Amino acid sequence: MRVTITEIKEMKQKKEKIPMLTAYDYVTAKVVDEAGVPLILVGDSLGMVMLGYESTIPVSMEEMIHHTKAVVRGAKNALIIGDMPFMTYHISVSDALHNAGRFIQEGGAQAVKLEGGEVVAEKVRRLVDCGIPVMGHIGLTPQSIHQLGGFKVQGKAVEEAKKLLKDACVLEEAGAFAIVLECTPAPLSKLITQKLAIPTIGIGAGPDCDGQVQVISDMLGLYTEFVPKHAKQYVKLAGEIKSAVSSYISEVKSLSFPTMKQSYTMDDSILDVIASEAKQSKSK
Ligand code: KIV
């Protein structure tokens, strides 16, 4: 049975921390799911870490649906959240409904995430009313990177902090089942977490959030172009992969790979027939 939003909300009540990870493909989703992560986000961060874009802004619905389907096939237990790309929920409630509906119906996700506070509250309410669970996302919202002026911590000044607290309350009131806090000062995240009945999931938001999320490519040390302060590399896979590939190259060149261990045999009598036929056709 898949994890439900009710179970996620209960985890906060039971003071049980909620680990969440991103995944973008079948094999990774399968491993993450088998390891026991209850929430998997098909983040639009895939634009940067899987597709090589400079930001999340160019990511399209088609790309998100393609990756969401793969993750849903791989993960059988976790609740899968599809991240709504830039401009797929900003223009109208009807756009938001149409695109969120695609994540659920075509992608097979169980929930969607969208960035913003009060400004998206009406859309959150309508999605929830239509039966689509919504995760909010405030603080550093990468889709607004040009407006924010870069990847910066949010909520250090009084007015900014007040606005974030208000945004969190408005999202809860609109029906969000959880809220991502990205790059907010730890004491402010704690305050927001205490104020809300729904779980907060932090990334660069300190230890007092109800849950934590990491971009899988950061925690596995796969995406090395930019390593954010809040990312912890549990393994350095990019280096390990490079050294495995170097070994492969040198083994192929030195004829030590493949050996008969990685090869297939055939019956000698069949080989004799083929070889003699080949010889005859050559002599004609
Ligand atoms: O796209 C993403 O991976 C995210 C997480 C950083 C929360 O939004």
Q: How far apart are CA 116 and CA 89, in angstroms?
A: 11
- Please indicate whether residue 180, judged by its CB atom, sits closer than 6 Å to ligand 1: yes
pLDDT band with cut points at 50, 70 and 90 for residue 282: confident
Q: Is the pLDDT of residue 155 over 70?
A: yes
Shortest CA distance to 115 belongs to which of 57, 50, 194? 57
CA 235 to ligand 1 center in whole angstroms: 20
- Please indicate whether residue 83, judged by its CB atom, sits closer than 6 Å to ligand 1: yes
CA 94 to ligand 1 center in whole angstroms: 24
Q: Identify the pLDDT of residue 7.
A: 98
Whether 182 sits among the annotated catalytic residues: the reply is yes
CA-180 nearest atom, ligand 1: 7
> pLDDT (tens digit, 9 = 90+) per residue, 84-104?
999 999 999 999 999 999 999
- Please indicate whether residue 63, judged by its CB atom, sits closer than 6 Å to ligand 1: no
CA-213 nearest atom, ligand 1: 7
Q: Identify the pLDDT of residue 249.
A: 98
Cβ contacts of 79 within 8 Å, gap of 6 or more = 2, 3, 4, 5, 8, 38, 39, 40, 110, 111
Q: Identify the pLDDT of residue 138.
A: 98
The 10 Å CB-count burial string (b at 16+, else e) for 180-199 is bbbbbbeebbbbbbeebebb
> pLDDT (tens digit, 9 = 90+) per residue, 93-151?
999 999 999 999 999 999 999 999 999 999 999 999 999 999 999 999 999 999 998 88
Q: How far apart are CA 225 and CA 72, in angstroms?
A: 28
Q: Identify the pLDDT of residue 86.
A: 98
Phi, psi of 142 (to 5 degrees): -60, -25
Decide: 157 and 164 in contact? Cβ < 8 Å: no
Q: Identify the pLDDT of residue 284.
A: 67
Length of the chain (residues): 284
Q: Which residue has the tokens 């070994």?
A: 247
> pLDDT (tens digit, 9 = 90+) per residue, 217-261?
999 999 988 889 999 999 999 999 999 999 999 999 999 999 999
Average pLDDT over residues 164-192: 98
- Express as a percent the part of the chain with pLDDT over 90: 95
**Annotated catalytic residue, options 10, 16, 182, 277:** 182
Q: Which two tokens stand for residue 257?
A: 């790979």
Decide: 133 and 3 in contact? Cβ < 8 Å: no
Shortest CA distance to 53 belongs to which of 139, 130, 128, 145? 145
Decide: 22 and 39 in contact? Cβ < 8 Å: no
CA-56 nearest atom, ligand 1: 1
Most informative mutation of 21, 140, 143, 182 for ligand 1 (most atoms within 8 A of CB): 182
Cβ contacts of 240 within 8 Å, gap of 6 or more = none
Which residue has its alpha carbon closest to ligand 1 atom 6?
A: 215
CA-215 nearest atom, ligand 1: 3
Which residue has its alpha carbon closest to ligand 1 atom 2?
A: 43
CA 215 to ligand 1 center in whole angstroms: 7
Which residue has its alpha carbon closest to ligand 1 atom 1?
A: 43
pTM, to two decimals = 0.95
Q: Is the pLDDT of residue 25 over 70?
A: yes
What mean pLDDT, rounded, does the chain reach?
97
